[in-house]
Chain A
Amino acid sequence: MTRILVILVGLGLGLALALGGVAAAQPAQPMPRAPGLPIPIQPQRVQPPAFAKPGAAAPQRETTVNPHGDTVESSGPGMALLFWLFAFVAVGGALFVVTRKNLIAAVMGMVGGFLGIAAIYMMLYANFLAVLQMLVYAGAIMVLFVFVIMILNRPEDEPVAPTGRAGAVFGSIAILYLIGRLVMMLIHVTPPDERVAMEAPAAIQLPATTADEPGESVGWGSVKAVGNDLFGPGLFPFEAISILLLVAVVGAIAIARPLKDDQQVADQEPAGEAH
């Protein structure tokens, strides 16, 4: 009972910290730039691309790229707090999957890890992907896994393949060194264009549908922007993935359907175990 209380208090403290971080991460004024970035934030003005028909005159109207005016950067202390929180949730869930002996515990850790990954998507302004991640992974795929685990319901004898003591020590040292090198190398990756990368992402300019007015300006990573790409340049992969899903469904039914022989084996098995 006390353990549950301690967990609840810890969760409340974490939530309060995270909320404070969000409040600190959204300044009314644009945040002061780091010393290396002297370029101030200016709403960029661009000419809308001329998608007009050949005969029509190109529209000359100017549109603002960033109509929402949010300047949340991914470098404030609140953003750092949120990043570390969700990164630890994601990595902890992943470690839970790999280390647990109980399969249901592994699946629950995986749900937590996927929620953390969805929050990471949200920090990268991929709103639609974050929602889809929660719906598809934490919803559908996890339910599938839980169903199969409930059907099988067989505890593992020895979860991890045994190796020699020396091999385990050497392998773990090598893996830790590899992880350290990789993380230290990747953490110093610099974006090619600091101004584009550190600002809130600009709105997406959809192609114009009619000749006399420019295309609509929609938020970066919103459903409309992703859908416009999915049903434009990404139409062939979209159709291919629907055929792949159909094949997978038919194949799953064909593979998992009980055969006649299996049925006889299952009928004979209780009698075999009786004596």
Chain B
Amino acid sequence: MGFLLHIGYGHFLALSAVLFLIGVGGVLLRRNALIILMSVELMLNAANITLVTFARMWGGAGAMSAHTFALIVIGVAAAEASAGLAIVVAVFRGRRSVEVDKLTVLRH
């Protein structure tokens, strides 16, 4: 049980993998568009944890580029949330529901 006491970089990577898989599960299983958006945010965060972990693992002066990249991922997540929520509001205005299973207009 040594892995309980000695925290290495693998622990952070494993945590990010678990968070990413929970996000994937949310996107696959849930029907509500808002929950799906939140799960996407969760996956972006898991990717950020991986970036920061590898920056700490390799060290060096160039490691700050990983922090910059994580910052840019946060910006992309904010843009995605605003556009996605606008789409959700527009869809809800038209058909009084945000369940993605009922959005089948383009099927036919």
Contacts and interface: CB of A to CB of B under 8 A. Distances in A.
A223 to B, nearest CB: 10
B85 interface: yes
A148 B21 contact: no
A126 interface: yes
Contacts of A233: 65, 68
A173 interface: no
Interface string B1-42: 001111111111111011101110110011110110111011
A256 B89 contact: yes
Interface of B: 3-15, 17-19, 21-23, 25-26, 29-32, 34-35, 37-39, 41-42, 45, 48-49, 52-53, 55-61, 63-65, 67-72, 74-83, 85-90, 92-94, 96-99, 101
Interface of A: 34, 74-75, 77, 79-80, 83-84, 87, 90-91, 94-95, 97-98, 103, 106-107, 110, 113-114, 117, 120-121, 123-126, 128-129, 132-133, 136-137, 140-141, 144-145, 148-149, 151-152, 154, 156, 158-161, 175, 178-179, 182-183, 186-193, 196-197, 201-202, 204-205, 220-221, 225-226, 228-230, 233-234, 237-238, 241, 244-245, 247-249, 251-253, 255-256, 258, 262, 266
B43 to A, nearest CB: 10
A241 to B, nearest CB: 4
B78 A136 contact: yes
A229 B58 CA distance: 17
Contacts of B83: 248, 251-252, 255
B93 to A, nearest CB: 5
Contact of B10 (A158, A189, A221): A189
24 contacts: A84-B4, A94-B19, A97-B22, A97-B35, A103-B35, A117-B49, A124-B12, A126-B67, A159-B31, A159-B35, A161-B29, A182-B17, A183-B14, A187-B13, A191-B58, A196-B59, A197-B9, A197-B57, A197-B59, A228-B64, A229-B68, A255-B89, A256-B90, A262-B93
Given A205-B61, A248-B83, A255-B83, A187 B10 contact: yes
Contact of A241 (B12, B17, B75): B75
Nearest to A237: B72
A144 B88 CA distance: 12
A135 to B, nearest CB: 10
A179 B82 contact: no
B6 to A, nearest CB: 5
Contacts of B48: 117, 129
Nearest to B56: A124
A114 B45 contact: yes
Contacts of B26: 97-98
Contact of A186 (B13, B45, B64, B69): B13
B15 A98 contact: no
B7 A98 contact: no
